[in-house]
């Protein structure tokens, strides 16, 4: 993912901050999102680990959506799957101003 896109989405005053008043700037989230975007663009594997509160979900969702590719996301729990589908994806749709096709 291009740095300018990461800044537009995750940066101070970015798309997520404008759409959701509680959104916080997290530099680690921007770096993670850029790494995911680069891995997708290069068709490479990427393994990352980050603590709770880093913003991992949006960090991988944004470049996945922007790639236009079909992406499979596997979660460790049903609760996380439901959070992704019913909370995070709708929030991202609102921030980006466009629908995201998910099943």
User: Which of 1, 8, 11 lies closest to 33, judged by CA?
Assistant: 1
The per-residue pLDDT of the chain, averaged, comes to 88
pLDDT confidence of 4, banded at 50, 70, 90?
A: low
pLDDT value for 72: 87
pLDDT confidence of 39, banded at 50, 70, 90?
A: very high
Is residue 25 within 8 Å of residue 10, measured between CB atoms? yes
Q: In the chain, what is the straight-line distance between the N-terminal and C-terminal CA atoms, in Å? A: 23
- The Cα 53–Cα 41 span in angstroms is 26
Is residue 36 within 8 Å of residue 2, measured between CB atoms? no
Instruction: Dump pLDDT digits (tens) for 44-57.
Output: 999 988 888 888 99
pLDDT value for 75: 87
The pTM is what? 0.85
pLDDT value for 103: 87
Is residue 48 within 8 Å of residue 35, measured between CB atoms? yes
- The Cα 88–Cα 76 span in angstroms is 16
Instruction: Dump pLDDT digits (tens) for 63-81.
Output: 999 999 988 888 889 999 9
Q: Which two structure tokens, joined as six digits, stand for 6?
A: 């990461």
């Amino acid at each position: 993912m291009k740095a300018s896109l990461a800044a537009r989405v995750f940066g101070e005053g970015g798309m997520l901050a404008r759409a959701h008043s509680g959104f916080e700037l997290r530099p680690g989230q921007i770096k993670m999102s850029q790494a995911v975007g680069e891995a997708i663009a290069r068709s490479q594997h990427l393994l990352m680990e980050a603590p709770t509160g880093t913003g991992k979900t949006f960090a991988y969702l944004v470049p996945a959506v922007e790639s236009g590719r079909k992406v499979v996301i596997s979660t460790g729990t049903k609760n996380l799957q439901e959070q992704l589908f019913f909370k995070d994806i709708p929030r991202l749709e609102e921030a980006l101003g466009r629908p995201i096709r998910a099943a």
